[in-house]
Chain A
Amino acid sequence: DMKVTQMPRYLIKRMGENVLLECGQDMSHETMYWYRQDPGLGLQLIYISYDVDSNSEGDIPKGYRVSRKKREHFSLILDSAKTNQTSVYFCASSFSNSQNTLYFGAGTRLSVL
């Protein structure tokens, strides 16, 4: 069953708290992504990971870091969350070949108060 699983689905944090968003996939995809979706801005790429410990900044990496210690698992970490990081976060994965369909998780709705 091809699936990208995100945890948690909903999260409320206070400004300054640390946030950990987790993502897993069962398709042995090499490449994984973190996007955030905001009204009027569409999807913005935060980080991309090409494989274990091979991570690259996307378009809006500031305030975020990632960890990929296993191919099937990719974490997004917000150290000292800010209110402007309130958003819906999507994880996605894909094979690193010419097909490259992205498979998205269900999203995590994060509110930073």
Chain B
Amino acid sequence: GEKVEQHESTLSVREGDSAVINCTYTDTASSYFPWYKQEAGKSLHFVIDIRSNVDRKQSQRLTVLLDKKAKRFSLHITATQPEDSAIYFCAASLNSAGNKLTFGIGTRVLVRP
């Protein structure tokens, strides 16, 4: 089955700098790649996604890049703020319905003042 590897387990950045989290996947048939955020002691919530028909998607300070050839996708957070501190999970699924998401193990992002 699909395997998603999240390369950074922790990331510490200074407030205002950028943060980049990288993920790779194994199944070339994967076509949907969402990101979820989990703040300390809380549940997960959706932040942004990208589908395989595009290679870039931006939403405010978040940008997702997809390189299908390398089976790699990444989340870029610009102008980081304290509220960006959280665990970020990348995920991949085999079809657009996204019913069976495979998650990475998560990257803890700490934004230092």
Contact = CB atoms under 8 A, between A and B. Distances in A.
A1 B49 CA distance: 23
B94 to A, nearest CB: 12
B99 A106 contact: no
Interface stretch (A11-19, A62-70, A74-82, A96-104): A96-104
A106 B43 contact: yes
A96 B105 CA distance: 25
A100 B32 contact: yes
- On chain B, which size bracket covers the interface? 20 to 34
Contacts of B12: none
Interface in B40-57: 42-46, 49
A34 interface: no
Contact of B106 (A42, A45, A101, A105): A42
B97 interface: yes
Given A40-B105, A106-B42, A50 B99 contact: yes
A94 B97 CA distance: 10
Contact of A58 (B34, B44, B46, B100): B100
Interface of A: 31, 35, 40-45, 48, 50, 58-59, 90, 92, 94, 96-98, 100-107
